[in-house]
Amino acid sequence: MPTSQPAASSARTGPSVASSEGLSRPVWFGDSAHPLFGWLHEPSETSNRGGVVLCGPLAKQYDTTYYTLRLLAEGLARAGFSTLRFDYRGTGDSDGLVTDPFTVAAWHAGVASAAELLDSLGCRSVAMVGLQVGALLAAQGAASRSAAGAPVSGLVLWDPPASGAAFLREQRAFGALAMGARPGADSSFESPAQLWTGEMVRDLRQLIMPTAGLPAATLVLSREGANLAALTRDVAAATALECETFTGHEDFYEHAKVPHAAVDRIVDWFDSRPSPSPLLPLLPARTETFADTAVVHAEDGTPVTERAVRLGPNDLFGVLSSGADATGPTIVLVGGYVYPHTGPGRTWVQLARQLAATGHRVLRLDLSGIGDSGLRPGQLPQQYFAAEGAEDIAHAVSAISPTDPRDVILVGFCSGAYAVIEAAAMLRPRAVVSVNYVPEFTPPELVAGGPVDERRNAFVARPRWIVRLRERGLLRRLREVVPEWGWQLLNRLGIVPSPTTGFKVLLAAGVATRALSGPEDAELFLARAGRQLARMAKTAPFSFTVLDGVGHSVLSVIERQAVVTAVMREVADLLGDGGPATPTVDIPARRVGGSAEPVEAFGDLPSGSNTAT
């Protein structure tokens, strides 16, 4: 198994990546006081057929649809359209907080700014595509441009809600079902990965589909079974409307499965439309002036400089955050599942900016085939727990810390925690912090019928009989009745591997290790290796902390703040510079082999916050 690290490579700022899909580059634009972040996908030719603004969804669907919108943008660029996908203020990599005042107004302004950027590139026409609530924002943006004398050339409403009020009802139902969330006194509430403040609720309730100013060409692509009779009647009165359906929306929103048929239909719809004659050239001088960096703000208002970087030979993408006079090791954040570098519910953005505000340099990274990173030759996209993850991290570390690749702290969430553990066995960094680490899984190569990849050092195989018990709902009962010594005996006999294998790999390499887990993820470790963890904590640079009230997917504000503060405290402790002096949140942390301590959060919680149950 490999133990050497890759040769050092350099980080590239202001990256532009040319491919058969065209030219893709990250851009900062809009109000310089609160810059927006986006991706501009341009045709491979020097002329374009027009511009397209992609207005994405919010909440958990931001994470699960991220890669699909990237593919849509690439497809439109391949068809000859300069396409901009972007994050609204307070979402994704853009500046701001979701609790900022006038948030919905800022989202409208962001749509206008995105269209203006395409205007500045020489696009003769601008069209819009909106997904979910983004469809309402796109339609409003189209109507506003029409009123200003610059109508859009086309509009695609992809799975549009009938109104902002209808969208809020759906989100409120999701919050109640998934989190037991209850509305606050000001009508604020939470849905998975999103807080809806009272002001946002008020403004979104007023968001309706305009009946004037829409383009002559409008496509409504709705999920099967959606009742949009009133919406389509109103829109049809204002435009030549085409209505179609797409399948697989549940897998799309819940499991990030790309609805290729819907993506292809949207691209074909634009491709079939007549192009302006003659085609207008792009303005290369203008496109080269996009800022490499932007000044954004941490939650406490501290200015933080961020720049988009390409790393290593496989075009890994990351965002590097740094505050004034950043010192010490670089902290690398790796997310889980197929979610992008922003982390679940934007957790990594919040954490990176707050760490940068306290004097650190922080990279939030997409592994290959995920988010905005490139694909390796022959690699399938959106493969989590991929064996290539450790090499990706090693390449990224060699690029951002070429003089001393060991001078880093690796932080990973879920499958990202597994990736940083594997990478740490190779790199031997200063420390590793794992969050909701899942030690047992089925690797993609086994799913495909092959052997376990030889690059895996910390893989814990899940026995088939364990899988069958879990499928039948009996595994938890087994953990309750079998004592820990019984599991240890099964470990020694080789019948069941120890869940601590990954931690042992790190400690054998001399890597300080801090594990943070919610009760759901900690149960596996405590039931089968609780005493072993306690012994490790006494004899090695290791700790295992249970964050009570934190679910695996960190769906609520309280959970995400607890994770941010817990990681900051671990980093501060590892570096010996104390922890954040901030108010406490009612989620205790139980350190195995130690006493309970409160986990702190930054500032008072917004109204409407709920702990997941």
Q: What is the pLDDT of residue 293?
A: 87
Q: Which two three-digit tokens encode residue 571?
A: 């980093």
- Whether the CB-CB separation of 308 and 321 falls below 8 Å is answered with no
Q: By C-alpha distance, which of 75, 73, 79, 81 is closest to 124?
A: 81
Assign domain 33-273 one CATH number from 3.30.1330.60, 3.90.1300.10, 3.40.50.1820, 2.60.40.10: 3.40.50.1820
Tally helices (H) and strands (E) across the chain.
Answer: 20, 25
Mean model confidence pLDDT for the chain: 85
- Assign residue 327 a region (left: φ > 0; alpha: ψ between -120 and 50; beta: otherwise): beta
What's the pLDDT at 281? 59
* Whole-structure pTM value: 0.89
pLDDT of residue 447: 86
User: What gap in Å lies between CA 489 and CA 271, rounded to an integer?
Assistant: 64
Q: Tens digits of per-residue pLDDT, 137-147?
A: 999 999 999 99
Q: Which CATH superfamily is domain 293-460+498-602 in?
A: Alpha/Beta hydrolase fold, catalytic domain (3.40.50.1820)
pLDDT of res. 526: 86
Cα 399 to Cα 408: distance, rounded to the nearest angstrom: 12
What count of Cα atoms within 13 Å lies in the side-chain half-sphere of residue 1? 16
Please name the residue ranges forming H helices in 148-228.
164-179, 198-205
Structure tokens at 163: 């109104």
What is the full DSSP assignment across 132-145?
THHHHHHHHHHHHH
Tokens 């006038």 locate to: 102
The confidence band for 328, taking pLDDT boundaries of 50, 70 and 90, is: confident
The per-residue pLDDT for 212 is 85
- For the stretch 472-490, pLDDT in tens is 666 666 666 777 667 666 6
Looking at the predicted structure, is the pLDDT value of residue 581 above 90? no
Q: Is residue 406 exposed (0-12), middle (13-18) or buried (19+ Cβ within 10 Å)? A: middle
The whole-number average pLDDT for the span 122-133 is: 94
- In the prediction, which pLDDT does 555 show? 93
> What percent of the chain clears pLDDT 90, i.e. is strictly above it?
59
* Cis ω before 278 (30° cut-off from 0): yes
Distances from the Cα of 242 to the Cα of 125, 140, 172, 231, 237, angstroms: 20, 18, 30, 13, 12
Residue with the bigger pLDDT between 494 and 366: it is 366
Q: Give me the mean pLDDT over the 159-171 stretch.
A: 94
Residue 291 CA to residue 308 CA, distance in Å, equals 10
* Residue pointed to by tokens 């901009």: 84
Find all residues with CB under 8 Å of 32, minimum gap 6, and list them: none
The string of pLDDT tens digits covering residues 530-563 is: 888 888 998 889 999 999 889 999 999 999 999 9
**pLDDT exceeds 60 at position 18:** no
pLDDT digits (tens, 9 = 90+) for 196-234: 999 999 999 999 999 888 898 899 998 877 766 666 666
Any idea what DSSP says for residue 512?
A: E
pLDDT in tens, 245-286: 888 888 999 999 999 999 999 999 999 987 765 555 555 534
In 203-276, beta strands by DSSP E: 217-223, 240-246
pLDDT confidence band for 44 (50 / 70 / 90): confident
What pLDDT does residue 292 have? Answer: 73
Is the pLDDT at 34 greater than 80? The verdict is: yes
pLDDT of residue 285: 38
pLDDT for the residue numbered 229: 65
Which of 53-62, 350-359, 450-459, 513-522 is least confident? Answer: 450-459
pLDDT for res 282 = 59
Which residue ranges does the chain devote to CATH 3.40.50.1820? Answer: 33-273, 293-460+498-602
Give pLDDT, residue 603: 35
41-56: average pLDDT: 88
Task: Summarize pLDDT for 373-421 with one digit per residue, the tens.
Answer: 999 998 999 999 999 999 999 999 999 988 888 999 999 999 999 999 9
Q: How many Å apart are CA 501 and CA 513, to the nearest integer? A: 13
pLDDT at 588: 62
Q: How far is the CA of 379 from the CAs of 78, 121, 374, 404, 472, in angstroms?
A: 21, 34, 10, 29, 33
- Convert the pLDDT of each residue in 422-447 to its tens digit: 999 999 999 999 999 998 888 898 88
What is the band of 51 on the pLDDT scale with cuts at 50, 70, 90?
very high
Predicted pLDDT of residue 186: 87
